[in-house]
Amino acid sequence: MNSQVEENYLKALFYLSIDNEDGVSVKVLSKHLDIKMPTVTSMMKKLAAKHLVNYESYKPLKLTEKGTKEAALVIRKHRLTEMYLVEKMHLGWEQVHDIAEQIEHIKSPEFFSKMDELLGYPKIDPHGSPIPDKNGKMVWKAYNKLSECKVNDTVKIAAVINTSDEFLTFLNGRDISLGLEMTIQSIEQFDNTIVVSYNKHSSETLSHRVCERLLVEKY
């Protein structure tokens, strides 16, 4: 079992590895965690001894397969917790990160399975980031919100946040479903309303509230 501290190093390495495919430097990891370089070096040796990190002096750091999986499981718990806190406890998005940062280290598989169940086994979180499954596998597509797209972007609806009946009904009423491709015609600066076209709908207006809940894949 990894300690909380070890879990934090794994998590940081996981995130930093996304942008640094060829490995993460001690410097960068040190900055990210706000922990001095010598401390990082010694922790890397420790994690290497546990086969979680490939460590060689003066070489970039890489998670092993095992390390990647364990990091993903921590991230899974973090994201499930954030979603749970927002959806089921009605805490604000500003508040939940710090709480999730603590709860992610709770040792109790049943606790997190139950959260997963109560949330309806979500595959992506409300930021559009994928939630790793119980085996640490995740679909590597970080979706964008429709609200973050630009005029003339052509996008495909990939997922929906907060699958309430009302919202799904709303989408049905406009023939919007998963996989649908649409092009952004214009964006109203004042209220962030977006006008899109797709299929037989040549000009459908979607509110910012709606666009924030539609995750899309850009082309």
Partner DNA sequence: TAATTTTGTTAGCCTATTCTAACTTTTTAG
Partner DNA sequence: CTAAAAAGTTAGAATAGGCTAACAAAATTA
Q: Rule CB under 8 A: say whether 3 interacts with its own copies.
A: no
**Which CB sits closer to DNA, 43 or 161?**
43
Q: How far is the CB of 49 from DNA (least distance, A)?
A: 10
Q: Rule CB under 8 A: say whether 114 interacts with its own copies.
A: yes
* 89, 93, 177, 199: which one binds its own copies (CB under 8 A): 89
The phi, psi pair for 198, rounded to 5°, reads: -165, 145
Kindly indicate which of the ranges 21-29, 95-103, 185-193, 208-216 contains the residues binding DNA, using the contact rule CB under 7 A: 21-29
Q: Rule CB under 8 A: say whether 106 interacts with its own copies.
A: yes
Positions in 57-86 near its own copies (CB under 8 A): 85
Q: One symbol per residue from 22 to 61: x for binding DNA (CB under 7 A), - otherwise; what is it?
A: ---xxx--x---xxxxxx-xxxx-x--------x-xx-x-
Kindly indicate which of the ranges 2-10, 75-83, 125-133, 138-146 contains the residues binding DNA, using the contact rule CB under 7 A: 2-10
Q: How far is the CB of 70 from its own copies (least distance, A)?
A: 19
98 binds, among DNA, its own copies, none (CB under 5 to 8 A by kind): its own copies
State which amino acid sits at residue 3: S
Burial class of residue 20 (count of CB atoms within 10 Å of its CB; 0-12, 13-18, 19+): middle
Query: Which residues lie below 8 Å from residue 60, measured CB to CB, with a gap of 6+?
Result: 20, 22, 23, 24, 25
Point out which residues bind its own copies (CB under 8 A): 85, 88-91, 95, 98-99, 102-103, 106-108, 110-111, 114-115, 118
Residues that bind DNA (CB under 7 A): 3-6, 25-27, 30, 34-39, 41-44, 46, 55, 57-58, 60
